Amino acid sequence: MRRPSFWQSVGFAWRGIVHTVRTQRNPRIHVMALVLVLLAGLVCGLTPQEWALVLLVSGFVLSAELFNSALEELADRVEPDFDPHIMRAKDAAAGGVLVAAITAVGVGLMVFGPHILRMLGIGPD
Protein backbone atom coordinates (compact mmCIF):
# COMPACT_ATOMS: atom_id res chain seq x y z
CA MET A 1 0.00 0.00 0.00
CA ARG A 2 1.31 3.41 -1.00
CA ARG A 3 1.82 5.97 1.76
CA PRO A 4 -0.29 9.11 1.34
CA SER A 5 1.46 12.32 0.39
CA PHE A 6 1.85 15.12 2.90
CA TRP A 7 -1.05 17.04 1.33
CA GLN A 8 -3.25 13.95 1.31
CA SER A 9 -2.53 13.53 5.03
CA VAL A 10 -3.46 17.17 5.63
CA GLY A 11 -6.69 16.55 3.72
CA PHE A 12 -7.50 13.51 5.86
CA ALA A 13 -6.86 15.53 9.02
CA TRP A 14 -9.04 18.39 7.80
CA ARG A 15 -11.79 15.90 6.92
CA GLY A 16 -11.62 14.57 10.49
CA ILE A 17 -11.89 18.06 11.96
CA VAL A 18 -14.85 18.99 9.75
CA HIS A 19 -16.65 15.69 10.43
CA THR A 20 -16.18 16.07 14.18
CA VAL A 21 -17.40 19.67 14.27
CA ARG A 22 -20.41 18.82 12.09
CA THR A 23 -21.47 15.74 14.04
CA GLN A 24 -20.56 16.46 17.68
CA ARG A 25 -22.13 19.12 19.89
CA ASN A 26 -19.20 19.91 22.20
CA PRO A 27 -16.64 20.52 19.45
CA ARG A 28 -19.15 22.89 17.84
CA ILE A 29 -19.47 24.75 21.14
CA HIS A 30 -15.68 25.01 21.40
CA VAL A 31 -15.37 26.31 17.83
CA MET A 32 -18.06 28.93 18.51
CA ALA A 33 -16.23 29.92 21.71
CA LEU A 34 -13.00 30.19 19.71
CA VAL A 35 -14.64 32.55 17.21
CA LEU A 36 -15.88 34.75 20.08
CA VAL A 37 -12.44 34.71 21.71
CA LEU A 38 -10.77 35.70 18.44
CA LEU A 39 -13.23 38.56 17.98
CA ALA A 40 -12.67 39.66 21.59
CA GLY A 41 -8.93 39.56 20.95
CA LEU A 42 -9.35 41.90 17.99
CA VAL A 43 -11.52 44.27 20.02
CA CYS A 44 -9.10 44.25 22.96
CA GLY A 45 -6.03 44.72 20.79
CA LEU A 46 -4.07 41.81 22.22
CA THR A 47 -0.29 41.92 22.14
CA PRO A 48 1.58 39.26 20.12
CA GLN A 49 2.41 37.45 23.37
CA GLU A 50 -1.25 37.48 24.43
CA TRP A 51 -2.29 36.17 21.01
CA ALA A 52 0.27 33.38 21.37
CA LEU A 53 -1.20 32.34 24.73
CA VAL A 54 -4.78 32.50 23.45
CA LEU A 55 -3.97 30.48 20.33
CA LEU A 56 -1.95 27.95 22.33
CA VAL A 57 -4.72 27.17 24.81
CA SER A 58 -7.36 27.25 22.06
CA GLY A 59 -5.39 24.66 20.10
CA PHE A 60 -4.99 22.66 23.32
CA VAL A 61 -8.77 22.57 23.86
CA LEU A 62 -9.62 21.73 20.25
CA SER A 63 -6.95 19.01 20.11
CA ALA A 64 -8.25 17.47 23.33
CA GLU A 65 -11.79 17.56 21.95
CA LEU A 66 -10.71 15.87 18.71
CA PHE A 67 -8.84 13.12 20.58
CA ASN A 68 -11.85 12.63 22.84
CA SER A 69 -14.22 12.37 19.88
CA ALA A 70 -11.91 9.92 18.11
CA LEU A 71 -11.67 7.71 21.19
CA GLU A 72 -15.45 7.78 21.72
CA GLU A 73 -16.18 6.89 18.11
CA LEU A 74 -13.66 4.06 18.10
CA ALA A 75 -14.87 2.73 21.46
CA ASP A 76 -18.50 2.77 20.33
CA ARG A 77 -17.52 0.88 17.18
CA VAL A 78 -15.51 -1.74 19.09
CA GLU A 79 -18.15 -2.28 21.78
CA PRO A 80 -21.61 -0.83 21.12
CA ASP A 81 -22.97 -2.26 24.39
CA PHE A 82 -22.16 -0.84 27.81
CA ASP A 83 -18.74 -1.85 29.10
CA PRO A 84 -17.33 -0.40 32.34
CA HIS A 85 -13.77 -0.37 30.97
CA ILE A 86 -14.80 1.60 27.91
CA MET A 87 -16.86 3.92 30.11
CA ARG A 88 -13.77 4.69 32.21
CA ALA A 89 -11.67 5.33 29.10
CA LYS A 90 -14.32 7.67 27.70
CA ASP A 91 -14.64 9.43 31.06
CA ALA A 92 -10.87 9.91 31.23
CA ALA A 93 -10.80 11.37 27.72
CA ALA A 94 -13.66 13.71 28.61
CA GLY A 95 -11.71 14.67 31.73
CA GLY A 96 -8.80 15.64 29.50
CA VAL A 97 -11.08 18.01 27.61
CA LEU A 98 -12.31 19.46 30.89
CA VAL A 99 -8.74 20.08 32.10
CA ALA A 100 -7.91 21.78 28.79
CA ALA A 101 -11.05 23.93 28.94
CA ILE A 102 -10.43 24.97 32.57
CA THR A 103 -6.84 25.86 31.65
CA ALA A 104 -8.09 27.93 28.72
CA VAL A 105 -10.57 29.78 30.93
CA GLY A 106 -7.80 30.57 33.42
CA VAL A 107 -5.50 31.87 30.71
CA GLY A 108 -8.41 33.78 29.18
CA LEU A 109 -9.13 35.52 32.47
CA MET A 110 -5.48 36.49 32.84
CA VAL A 111 -5.21 37.73 29.26
CA PHE A 112 -8.58 39.44 28.84
CA GLY A 113 -9.16 40.56 32.44
CA PRO A 114 -6.86 43.60 32.35
CA HIS A 115 -8.23 44.67 28.95
CA ILE A 116 -11.82 44.42 30.14
CA LEU A 117 -11.06 46.30 33.36
CA ARG A 118 -9.32 49.02 31.35
CA MET A 119 -12.35 49.34 29.04
CA LEU A 120 -14.57 49.69 32.10
CA GLY A 121 -12.30 52.42 33.42
CA ILE A 122 -11.25 50.51 36.53
CA GLY A 123 -7.94 49.06 35.42
CA PRO A 124 -4.49 50.56 35.13
CA ASP A 125 -3.75 52.42 31.91
List the catalytic residues.
65
Q: What gap in Å lies between CA 105 and CA 53, rounded to an integer?
A: 12
Asked if 30 and 65 count as a contact pair (C-beta separation under 8 A), the reply is yes
- Chain mean position to CA 52: 15
Please list the helix, strand and coil fractions of the chain in percent, rounded to the nearest 5, in that order.
Answer: 85, 0, 15
